[in-house]
Chains A and B, each alone.
Chain A
Amino acid sequence: EAGVTQFPSHSVIEKGQTVTLRCDPISGHDNLYWYRRVMGKEIKFLLHFVKESKQDESGMPNNRFLAERTGGTYSTLKVQPAELEDSGVYFCASSPVTAYGYTFGSGTRLTVV
């Protein structure tokens, strides 16, 4: 079974630019999550989709972040405009409805300069 795929693996952009991260979850997983790890600190929750619906977006830092999940399949996370403090590793994870554990992707390392 294919795992959770994230693209790109690395992105370096200038402050003020826009970046879009993509996540392809495991096929059939209704739950999709975005997390990020900033400066080696703890992994922090951003938001949770159930199919195409945003179930919980309480972790989104501000309105510069926009997440979508078209048709309940892949998801995108757009940062516009990017700020220096947005640098970090953005992880996507997915899980079936009843699972305790998530399957994470390898993350996108975002560097804003």
Chain B
Amino acid sequence: GQSLEQPSEVTAVEGAIVQINCTYQTSGFYGLSWYQQHDGGAPTFLSYNGLDGLEETGRFSSFLSRSDSYGYLLLQELQMKDSASYFCAVRDPDTGRRALTFGSGTRLQVQP
């Protein structure tokens, strides 16, 4: 089985930097993904880390440490529109399975 843990809520102010952590327990590992979901909207793919290190895409970065079973999503220069839920997800390592297991999501509230 697989499980992921992430904080349920995070609050930050506009212009600040926020880090959303994700720890996972899996029988194997096939990469950590991050998705953003605004209320009532579709989850949107943000990033994927298959190897250790930092991946940067604009204001968003994602980090992975496989030895620590840990990753995080870093959001810089926060904007009001970044208020949303953020989910980390891992793919089942079993051959042929592409199903993702998601964490429960972190609700980010950006305040003025």
Contacts and interface: CB of A to CB of B under 8 A. Distances in A.
A107 B42 contact: yes
A4 B40 CA distance: 15
A95 B98 CA distance: 10
A107 B39 CA distance: 11
Given A42-B102, A42-B103, A104 B97 contact: no
Contacts of B48: 100-101
Nearest to A46: B99
A45 B100 contact: yes
A33 B42 contact: no
Contacts of B50: 100
B58 to A, nearest CB: 15
Number of contact residues on A: which range applies? 20 to 34
Contacts of A58: 97, 99
Interface in A1-23: 3-4
A106 B41 contact: yes
B16 to A, nearest CB: 26
Contact of A45 (B40, B41, B44, B99): B99
B99 A48 contact: yes
Interface string B20-53: 0000000000010101000011111100101000
Contacts of A25: none
B105 A100 contact: no
Interface in A36-61: 41-45, 48, 55-56, 58-59
- 10 tightest Cβ-Cβ pairs between the two chains A and B: A101-B45, A100-B48, A45-B99, A104-B42, A43-B102, A104-B43, A106-B42, A42-B104, A42-B102, A56-B97
